[in-house]
Structure 1
Amino acid sequence: MEVCKGQLHTIAGSSCGDSSHISIAVSSDVSSGDCSIENDASVTSPSLCPGAEEKDRKDTVVLKHLVCSCEGFNDVNDDNCSKVLKRRRTVSQRCGCKVKIVVKYMSEDRYFALSFVEEHNHPLASASGRQFLRANREMTLGLRNIVFDGAKVNIGGNKVFNFAKEMMGGYSNVGATLRDFRNLNHYLKCYVGEKDGQMMIEKFKVMTETCEPFYYAYDVDSAGHLTKLFGTDAIGQRNFEIYGAAVSFDATFDTNKQGNYNINKLYNLIFAPFTGVDKNDKCVTFASCLLSQESVADYSWEWDVGVPASFSSLNGLVASKHGLCIWHILQTFPVKLGNHLCKETYFMEKMKIYICSSNIDIDEFERGWEAVIKELKLEGNKWLADIYEIRSSWIPTFFRDEPMFGLMHTTSRQRNKIARLDHETTSSILTTVLTRFIEDYAADLFMRTLFYKVQEEIFASCVDMKIKRMSEEVEGVIHLEIKDVKVKDKLFKVSVSLNHAVFSCKKFVMCGIVCRHAFCGLKQLGVTKIPRSLVLNCWMKIADSGTSSNSVALNRLDYVHRTIRQLNIDLVNHDGEVVEFPKKDYIAAMVGEKPLGELTVFVPKVCKNKGNYFKRLICEREKSVMKSKKRI
């Protein structure tokens, strides 16, 4: 039987009592030797695999064998079997099946079916098992996109396969098996290999050429392995220009174990972002850095190389202060002092009165700390003495004069979409509690999250405040001493006028919000609007309405994104011929082409940031674990 290029011929026959139809189609690319032999929708036999082939001097396939996937037998090496090795038990489908098709080249566009053996020596697949045959399995472009999108958010092949099953309505409708999903996910991660670091740097170079505000810097060790990487874009620099009055630089508590989709190893790099708080009281990122070690040299490199180039042309970073996380220190108290002292006595309750309060003075904190330590006879505890020596780095009362603006909790703050919050505030009317005073003005001035905080202070100024002493008005200024019913043994001093207010709690300096004591004083003067000197620009609804070079670049970037989305919609709606997209070309389009030539930047090494065992205090928990020879 002769077969021409592009033509499809069907051979019908029966095998082992079951009928099957085999279609022979010759590809237009004869030199590639792709004479595709496909089964129709009712196929029950195993797939046909390419076998031996012959080519002429012009590299044209003149003879091609296609055999059953069960052809031949497994090679068994007796030498390996004699050795005592732990091997995985496997099965084989090879049973010496003789089914084959031999196609011979006749002329430029004609082939001849030289031989056809159709009798199988094994049972064919059942109706429920047809979905597992190779001929009926294919990772389509849609399934590849699902695997790729899942890999970007660190979702493995198992969960992606279950998600595809729910979308398709069952496992049999997916068109691929779990192993196919795992293989593609594995191939996606291994595609880059050791060229991951080089590809990342080259991608950043392209981003620098296409987006002028984008900036990056990196450093390698003596062997060429990536050790430091700093980056910021137009969005981050625009956020810094608007909300950069106070910046928090806080490395993650644990190493970054998630990695990226093109990272084939877990590098455990330290992720250190520069963050701030926007008008929605949510965290925004200005820049970020990946470090291999938490050392002075690494952090100095970030501040000397990355920060000046990124922020010096904008507001600039004037001064900085180092602060420790109070939450982690409080979590260490039971470990260092024991559960009996911290959970079965009043020790922690008494300590938190002085540790967690920002309304007390430094002298008051020191007297309270010493009183609690002396009461429980803990003067000889070395750990308490050590953390007391560094009290200026973690006690809130030492930060009362610093403009923190809520930065103590930026890395633990919930990440929300700013656009959604803006829409919810502008498209809704905030509910006010009071029918007078300045609450309506605050609702028009602040976003919803900030308004709720200001509303709480306004309400407390009318309910919880008691004026103990008020002076006569002198040049438009009155002085008050106010008692807060929720703070024991404390009087707050407030000096207010129609245009300004000064208060001893210093909440405005630390958080950027007018406190309840100031609102109580403003109410006595009959003020109906918050003084402009007590409203920060970054908290207002119109904070990001200004125009800068970065905002112009951001608008251009939005235009490009809209154009790409429209092109994507047009391509989806286009009823054209579907072209095959090989797996290798697909991954290259998604991840990027592999760099050519010699590598100059290698993947980072796995870093270890565990504290030095011989330079830190060992708690009782670690001692008991080491004694029992168990890992933590």
Structure 2
Amino acid sequence: MDMVFSSLDDCYSMYVKYAKECGFSVRKGTTKTNSKGVLHIKYYLCTRTGLYKDKKVDTLDPNQKERVLRSNFSKRTDCGELLCVLFEAGSWKVYKFVEEHNHDLVERPDKHFLPTERHLTQLQKHVIHNMSKLNLGPVKAFNVMKTCFGGFEDVGASKVEFKKYKRYSMVFVPFTGIDNHHGNVTFGAALLASETADTYIWLLRVFLKAVGSQPKVVVTDQDPAMKKAISVVFVDTRNRLCMWHVMHKLSLKVGVRLCNSTNFKECICGVVWTDILTPEEFESEWEAVIAEFNLADNDWLSDIFALRESRIPAYYRIEEMFGLMRTASRSENENHFFGQVCNSKATLVEFMTHYETAIEAQRHTHRKNDHESRYKRPQLKSNYQLLEGQAVDIYTKSIFCDVQAELIGVADCINQRYEDQPDGFVNFYINDFQQPCTSLFERNILCMAL
């Protein structure tokens, strides 16, 4: 009683040493603040304080009325031992101490089983790290330690602590694009120690130096650090926000009943996802939907509309191939792709091996698609088989299927006319009568008789 400590860390360290000598482990308990919100009371408890609450579990038969309890062994004995410190006069003072336990204390030969005695030293962390370079896992590192120190009780940690030790805790950041087969392609990847704006700025600068040019469009979620980094480094790039991350919150923000009992969701998605509207038409149709369902006061919908130029396809019509990347789903697919060959607990050596395996598989798939595009000829189906035949020679198999679908639909949806001009030139006029928003296409061509 009345011992004084300069900090809570000093107090906790003393209490852990005391508990080790006695034969029990401690854990940090609750805290209390004063009227000004400042912490002034801290409790430290025996790990056997409290009681385990049994959880009733149904049997495998869901129709059976009886409920059974699984056999659970608990270390909790509702022990009343505790240490309480009070902050006063700039230091922490012990003002309550309950010494008695209602359970047996651990004997000296078994003290290495106590939770507070199982921790890794800096030497052990260093050994685990270096052994990972030799592709030796944490279990083998533990066995080496056991042999060197003389036994299980002398290691100071169990196999569990060795396997739980995170050597890196780094963030994997792949740069994902689209190849000429509509497939994902990894331009590069990085391992980051943090996800701050400064870290992302450094990463994007390194990427820009390696690639040599800025991308036209980058699709991300609403991460503010990434948004700031893109605006600093990719000054000529449009940062397109993933609409899927926004629209999947629709039911939550406007109400499940409105989405399920009306055609509101169909109407709003028809305006948001379509790429045939001009910006002016989008704004007009958006306002019509909002007015129809009386949602003018919904702040979330107002926020979406305010950020429309960074989300809505209508505002990306001038960007080349804007329709290929609308959401960050390709990034999610890429994460799943790498997740199949690696996990967050892998060592750096293991991760690099798995990463190279994944990239090799990705390149193999790309090469296979190239082969099929060169040596397989599709059946021509449109009324413009001359153009279709040229498209076969130009495009890959996947891209050609899109072009072919467009050619098949051309005859049913366009107006075309031409006018002979002097000197052998002909003016062609083409427009899409099913999409009045599209502009008239004009081309002046010199026709030569052979």
Q: TM-score, with normalisation over the residues of structure 2?
A: 0.48
Greater C-alpha radius of gyration: 1
TM-score, with structure 1 as normaliser: 0.35
Whose relative contact order is higher, 1 or 2, with alpha carbons under 8 Å and at least 6 apart?
Answer: 1
Larger helix percent: 2
